[in-house]
């Protein structure tokens, strides 16, 4: 608002309140200050300016009680195009059937235990963990577990939209990062940087290594200053090697989500069958699904069960599942072949 001839658009106190409202993600307070600034301009007969300010703010006074955007999302927008930096999941996905390896489960339980005993830890001068890094192959429960943890603490999940966050404009990325960290500071949530390696991957083959370095540095700075009482941060990655070791160290715990073991595959298949009668050996099925992720097993079983329904068959045979599996494996092999051809 640097208009010549209007040096008293806003007093320092209003400015302070405006900043505070922004920091707290309080849209109501933000609008209140903005409205009073507009009212002052009207009172001073600056009708044109008042009109411009009103247009810039967006008029919601015509629809009382109607909130177009929630306070949080109104304040976490990308600087150039106003794109959202966060997608908020108010009701995290159902996580009743989360299957975890014992080693993973133990780390997750430990995290929950620390967060539930914040006071006890604090009385001895310790803080609970607040930054977790999940890594492991795709489809093995990283995102699902982030939702599971959100459910445990009654929190929403704020997924950082990395494409919007990373700007080609110098300085914007750091500002965006600060915005999402501030949002998590003022609004309790699980701040999820999902598939963070995708950033590294897309930048890897581009010429601008400098930009990636800047992103990493901004991220490190933002991570170091992050300390929210109720929120916590989860980073999820498919490829740990793509992550900068300096980032790796910043997390309070690094938790592996491995490809499911035979025991977990058995549990998961049983659960997915969900009352459908299986004809054939469950053990052979468990053996043959070695190397598949949960997401792939889910896809496999859902396809086989749907075929059974469409064909009016009363039961599912392992032979039918194997036929689906062969198709799936052929497809994966074809994708791999295409990829190697491309890389050569
Ligand atoms: N550990 C798991 N237990 C139960 N279901 C799972 C698990 N991992 C993955 N799934 C199934 O696969 C889907 C995708 O998993 P997701 O958590 O998004 O994988 P990731 O984030 O590790 O790539 C989930 O929505 C769920 O249906
Ligand atoms: Mg995921």
Per-residue pLDDT of the chain (344 residues; tens, 9 = 90+): 434 344 567 788 888 888 877 776 667 678 778 877 887 887 778 888 888 887 787 654 433 333 334 556 556 787 677 788 999 988 777 788 899 999 999 999 999 999 999 999 999 999 999 999 999 999 999 999 999 999 999 999 999 998 888 776 667 888 888 899 999 998 999 999 998 877 655 555 555 666 667 777 788 888 888 888 899 999 999 877 666 777 788 899 999 999 999 999 999 999 999 889 999 999 999 999 999 999 999 999 999 999 999 999 989 999 999 999 999 999 989 988 888 776 66
Q: Where are the domains of the chain?
A: 12-67, 86-256, 262-343
| Contact (Cβ atoms closer than 8 angstroms) between residue 217 and residue 178 | no
138 CA closest ligand 1 atom index = 23
CA dist 88 to 66, 93, 152, 160, 199, Å?
19, 12, 17, 9, 20
Which structure tokens are listed for 256?
Answer: 């592996």
The verdict on the CB of residue 264 being under 6 Å from ligand 1 is no
Q: Is 144 in the pocket of ligand 1 (CB under 6 A)?
A: yes
Q: Is 265 in the pocket of ligand 1 (CB under 6 A)?
A: no
The answer to whether the predicted template modeling score (pTM) of the entire model surpasses 0.85 is no
Instruction: Tell me the angle at which helices 142-152 and 102-116 cross, rounded to the nearest 10 degrees.
Output: 30
Q: Whose atoms come closest to the Cα of 137: which ligand?
A: 1
Architecture of domain 86-256: 3-Layer(aba) Sandwich (3.40)
What CATH number matches the domain at 262-343, 3.30.70.1520, 3.30.70.260, 1.10.8.60, 3.60.140.10?
Answer: 1.10.8.60
């Amino acid at each position: 608002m640097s208009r010549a001839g209007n040096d008293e658009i806003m007093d320092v106190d209003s400015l302070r309140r405006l900043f505070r409202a922004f920091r707290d993600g309080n849209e109501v307070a933000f609008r209140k200050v903005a409205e009073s600034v507009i009212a002052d301009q009207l009172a001073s007969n600056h009708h044109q300016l008042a009109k411009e300010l009103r247009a810039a703010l967006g008029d919601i006074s015509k629809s009382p009680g109607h909130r177009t955007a929630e306070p949080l999302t109104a304040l976490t927008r990308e600087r150039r195009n106003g794109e959202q930096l966060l997608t908020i999941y108010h009701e995290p996905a159902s996580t009743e059937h989360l299957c975890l390896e014992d080693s993973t489960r133990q780390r997750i339980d430990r995290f929950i235990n620390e967060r539930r005993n914040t006071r006890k830890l604090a009385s001895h001068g310790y803080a609970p963990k607040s930054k977790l890094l999940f890594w492991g192959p795709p489809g093995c429960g990283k995102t699902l577990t982030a939702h599971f943890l959100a459910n445990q603490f009654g929190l929403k999940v704020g997924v950082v939209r990395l494409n919007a966050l990373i700007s080609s404009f110098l300085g914007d990325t750091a500002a965006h990062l600060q915005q999402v960290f501030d949002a998590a500071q003022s609004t309790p949530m699980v701040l999820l940087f999902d598939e963070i390696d995708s950033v590294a991957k897309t930048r890897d083959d581009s010429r601008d290594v400098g930009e990636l370095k800047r992103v990493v540095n901004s991220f490190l700075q933002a991570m170091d200053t992050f300390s929210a009482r109720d929120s916590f941060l989860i980073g999820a990655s498919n490829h740990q090697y793509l992550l900068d070791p300096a980032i790796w160290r910043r997390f309070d715990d690094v938790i592996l989500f491995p490809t499911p073991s035979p025991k977990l595959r058995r549990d998961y298949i049983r659960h997915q069958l969900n009352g459908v009668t299986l004809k054939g050996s469950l053990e052979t099925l468990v053996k043959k699904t070695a190397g598949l992720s949960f997401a792939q097993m889910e896809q496999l079983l859902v396809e086989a069960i749907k075929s059974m329904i469409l064909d009016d068959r009363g039961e599912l045979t392992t032979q039918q599942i194997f036929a689906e599996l062969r198709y799936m494996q052929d497809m994966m092999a074809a994708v791999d072949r295409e990829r190697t051809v491309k890389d050569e």
